[in-house]
Amino acid sequence: MKYPEWDEIRNDSYVSKRDFPMIEADMPTFMGVPLINRPEDLKGTDAVIIGAPYVAGWEGYAGVSKSEWLASPKRVRQQSIRYPSGYLQDFDLDIFEVLNVVDFGDADIPPECNEKPTAENILKAQAAVEKKVNQVLDVGAIPIVIGQNSPCGSYAIAKPIAERTNGDVGVISLDTHWDSGRLDSLTLDPRIAGSDSWKCKMFEFHDNILHKNLVEIGERGFMESKEIVREMLDKGTHFYPMWRIRTELGIEGLCKELDHAYKGTKAVYAHFDMDVIGGAGPAPGDILGDLAEPIGMSDYEVIRIAYEAGKRGLDGLSFICIPPGSAVAYRTIVYVIMYMLAGKAQTKIEKE
């Protein structure tokens, strides 16, 4: 599967007759929304797109080349530009008439952070994402971070939300893996909230993020340590494996369970690790390399959860492990973001 070059996308009939802001020569803004370069211009926005092109590891990641993973924030934007407006026919709703959505470009992650993933470089990359997230939170908007690996596409969003929330923070997490090891396996540094440890570090570093407000969705199979899973459950995590979703809850029952993230909390952070779709999404599971597992979530289920979370209210949304190389997989991220915003827009309309 070969992803098309920008010139091919730009000359497509969906795109060729339109003008839109450009972040770089081959990267339009998300959905053609305005580009914001200065934090002082974020005032009055409702949701802000941020790219976090960061990949852990010295070579590739999970059997896929690093360049393919790093391209995801750009490619999501490229695929989004095929849609000429924010009009969602499902709900007869133009999202951009209700919400002020802008693109804040990519976090300023130094090149060496992707070339040489030492603990110090990882912390620099994380800080670059945190800076942008904090600038968005300063104006009361939702940061929407399109990343690829932890901590830049996960903990770097949870941390600022937790630090500025006067009360508990709920978490909605979609994932194939628990990411709850006690130590980052890449650096063995206790400061690093890495790909296999960021959830454990989130609880370790922030007293206002509690297991009882974590809604964990999608894990299945034989990959995880029984000690880690049982510890998470003993501490109160609400766990919805794919087997239970398929046999007992269904998507309607699962959506009701999201309430655990909101009960008694002052903020809610949603994290979508897109390896959760395995091979059940819009593209073959093999494009995820070693991350693909059977009994994956469908694209509709992931999008529906985003919509329901948007209706209830979110303080941050992030993505990692976006399936690389497939145009339709990148479009799925566009749908997840836009249906989340549709839920938020509908709630705003109802309150007016």
- How far are the Cα atoms of 81, 178, 332, 334 from residue 328, in angstroms, in the given order? 13, 26, 6, 10
Instruction: Count how many residues are written for the chain.
Output: 352
The 3 state secondary structure assigned to the chain is CCCCCHHHHHCCCCCCCCCCCEEECCEECHHHCCECCCHHHHCCCCEEEEEECCCCCCCCECCECHHHHHCHHHHHHHHHCCCCCCEECCCCEEHHHHCCEEEEEECCCCHHHHHCCCHHHHHHHHHHHHHHHHHHHHCCCEEEEEECCCCCCCHHHHHHHHHHCCCCEEEEEECCCCCCCCCCCCCCCCCCCCCCCHHHHHHHHCCCEEEEEEEEECCCCCCCCHHHHHHHHHCCCEEECHHHHHHHHHHHHHHHHHHHHCCCCCEEEEEEEHHHHCCCCCCCHHHHHHHCCCCCCCHHHHHHHHHHHHHHCCCEEEEECCCCCCHHHHHHHHHHHHHHHHHHHHHHHHHC
Amino acid at 88: L
Query: Can you tell me the distance from the alpha carbon of 22 to that of 19, in angstroms, rounded to the nearest whole number?
Result: 9
Query: Can you tell me the distance from the alpha carbon of 272 to that of 171, in angstroms, rounded to the nearest whole number?
Result: 11
The pLDDT assigned to 1 comes to 62
The pLDDT assigned to 307 comes to 98
The pLDDT assigned to 281 comes to 82
Rounded average pLDDT per 10-residue block, the chain, 352 residues: 91 93 98 98 98 90 87 98 97 98 98 95 98 98 97 98 98 96 95 96 98 98 94 98 97 98 98 92 86 94 98 98 93 98 98 90
Going along the chain from its start, the domains and CATH numbers come out as 6-171+274-351 (3.40.800.10)
Query: Can you tell me the distance from the alpha carbon of 288 to that of 211, in angstroms, rounded to the nearest whole number?
Result: 29
The pLDDT assigned to 184 comes to 95
The pLDDT assigned to 290 comes to 87
